[in-house]
Amino acid sequence: MNTLLGSSHPAPHRERYGRGALAFGLFAAPLAWAFQLTASYAVTGVTCNGARYALDARTLHSALAAVDVMALAVTVAAFVVAWLGWRATREEAAGSAHHLLDAGEGRTRFLAVCGMMASAGFMLALIFATVGIAVVPPCAGAGG
């Protein structure tokens, strides 16, 4: 298919990787991390400040671990979806990286790679947060 200028579309394999999958691969990991961070701070803040409806230490630890595991699962799923998108579009445009940058080709493949990198980074952040739950008591330094 040609555009108005006579050149081919810069993302010729875009139909191999749906927009929903592309969005999930790009945004699910950062959203899972944001949810984990917000939920952990909210639950820990209420408990460590001694509110009357606070959780006991064992329940707090279990709740934090459950939130982290759910966020990690979403992040791994986002990585897999982005990786599958990259595999489906990895032959989208031929040429060196410099040529593709100048031509603007391979957009779908580029976004899939961005999703893989973002997912890997947020997965690492979530792993550190999960290890932190096991190593540091939730209310350390809060006087609780």
Q: Give the pLDDT confidence of 62-100 residue by residue, as tens digits.
A: 889 999 999 999 999 999 999 998 888 877 655 555 554
Question: Is 100 within the bounds of a domain?
Answer: yes
Question: Is 94 within the bounds of a domain?
Answer: yes
Question: Is 80 within the bounds of a domain?
Answer: yes
Structural contact between residues 90 and 109, judged by C-beta atoms closer than 8 angstroms: yes
pTM of the prediction?
A: 0.76
Q: Give residue 69's domain range.
A: 17-135
pLDDT of the residue at 1: 44
**What is the phi-psi region of residue 6: left when phi exceeds 0, alpha when psi lies from -120 to 50, beta otherwise?**
left
Q: Give the pLDDT confidence of 87-137 residue by residue, as tens digits.
A: 888 776 555 555 544 444 567 788 888 999 999 999 999 999 999 888 887
pLDDT of the residue at 11: 52
